[in-house]
Amino acid sequence: MLSIRLDAETQKRIDKLAASTKRSKSFFVKEALANYLDDLEDYYEASKRKNSNNRELISFNELKEALGV
């Protein structure tokens, strides 16, 4: 269980969104947090790989060819 305090503007926005969609405020907070964590995990993984001595790099043209673009 987690409790958070929101500033008035954020609370107002979540209240309005929940009322207009008939979904709970918790639903939107959980969705927002899950999306943020996905992005943050991707960022840290990319940073880790960028700084790795074992990374394998390909050119942009090689990437386009691999993707069939």
Residue 65 CA to its chain's centroid (Å):
28
Q: How far is CA 43 from CA 25, 32, 64, in A?
A: 27, 17, 22
Per-residue pLDDT tens over the stretch 15-69:
999 999 999 999 999 999 999 999 999 999 999 888 888 878 889 999 999 999 9
Is residue 2 very low, low, confident or very high in pLDDT (cuts 50, 70, 90)?
A: confident
Which sequence spans correspond to the domains of the chain? Answer: 23-50
Let me know: does 15 contact 25? Beta carbons within 8 Å: yes
- pLDDT of 55 reads 78
